[in-house]
Chain A
């Protein structure tokens, strides 16, 4: 267990620092995408009737953009707290898929680390870190990479939400600036390295097709349905291919 600080080591190893800052750096294009959404969240929060303190606390303690948006919308509509919490559960359910996918890499870590990294697990940090864990080098500090990405996303989000609360209503239509294109092209660059064989092609094509059929589902459920369809399609083709291979081996 490498130590970050403590009595036994008071120096942060250069390898740890290197992983941490690479995580920050690789998350950079995704920070841009949070800018219009943070501003918009701040603006909506003010007009929803939520206090400024509560709007900031929500960003700091919940730290999940889409569910914060929906929560603010529901507050404005006068929905009861129980319904908002239930909606949050559904909207954030996709994060369980992320923690499942990172499980093989994170289970070796101390409970403390899993606790911390879980709190900061967002779409963006998941995408960046999954790619890092997948690389076959011997670094045993990859979790510091994820920590770097996590903290970059976290403080960036806090900053833009606060900015939104202060000036959001005076900057009209930040969403229409197209800053989210940075997130989209980054995600494209992160998907391509996975597309190495036909089951992966199948998974991606299925997920994309289903996402277009389910985008009108509420609360991001379309995303979950599409992703699971893609995963199942990939596994199915992988099974079919390996069955074929074993048949060929037997000379059938």
Chain B
């Protein structure tokens, strides 16, 4: 790619990406959201996070992998369980339990 092409590419990508991230915030002082929309927004984080988590756990290399040979699955299940068991320290519980289970399962697969 020519260097002018590179400059145009990066400039274009930057403008497009920043606009998406900024446009609502830019004018947010001038309007207030209807109450129904504001209610809807509280569902955004859990819905988005779930939509990221589920396929990353169950799909490996372009196909389904729902078995215990997929270390992501027991790790995720353990993280969910630990999170619900320790509601006061959800993050710490989910992260440590998930990572430990992942390491253990991967290790046993490795030595087999």
Say if the beta carbon of B21 comes within 8 Å of chain A: yes
- Measured CB to CB, the nearest residue on chain A to B18 is A119
Residues of A within 8 A of B75 (CB): 181, 184-185
Are A85 and B12 closer than 8 Å at their CB atoms? yes
Provide the A199-215 mask, 1 if CB < 8 A to any CB of B, else 0: 11001101110111001
Give A80-124 interface residues, CB cut-off 8 Å to B. 81-82, 84-85, 88-89, 92-104, 106-107, 111, 114-115, 117-119, 121, 123
- In which size bucket is the chain B interface? 35 or more
Say if the beta carbon of A223 comes within 8 Å of chain B: yes
Cα of A119 to Cα of B22 in the assembled complex, Å: 7
Which DSSP category, helix, strand, loop or mixed, fits chain B's interface? helix
Cα of A54 to Cα of B10 in the assembled complex, Å: 8
The verdict on A188 contacting B80 (CB below 8 Å), with A211-B51, A223-B52 known, is yes
- Candidates A71, A93, A99; contact of B24 at CB < 8 Å: A99
List residues of B whose CB falls within 8 A of some A CB.
Answer: 1, 3, 5-6, 8-10, 12-14, 16-18, 20-26, 28-29, 33, 36, 38-59, 71-72, 75-76, 79-80, 83-84, 87, 90-95, 97-99, 102, 106
- Could you jot down 16 A-B contacts, CB within 8 Å? A29-B95, A75-B1, A84-B12, A97-B44, A101-B41, A104-B41, A106-B25, A118-B21, A123-B52, A180-B56, A182-B99, A191-B53, A212-B58, A215-B55, A231-B43, A235-B39
| Extra A-B contacts (17), CB below 8 Å, given A183-B56, A229-B47 | A54-B9, A71-B9, A82-B12, A84-B13, A104-B41, A106-B25, A111-B29, A115-B26, A184-B57, A190-B49, A191-B53, A192-B80, A192-B94, A207-B50, A227-B48, A235-B39, A238-B39
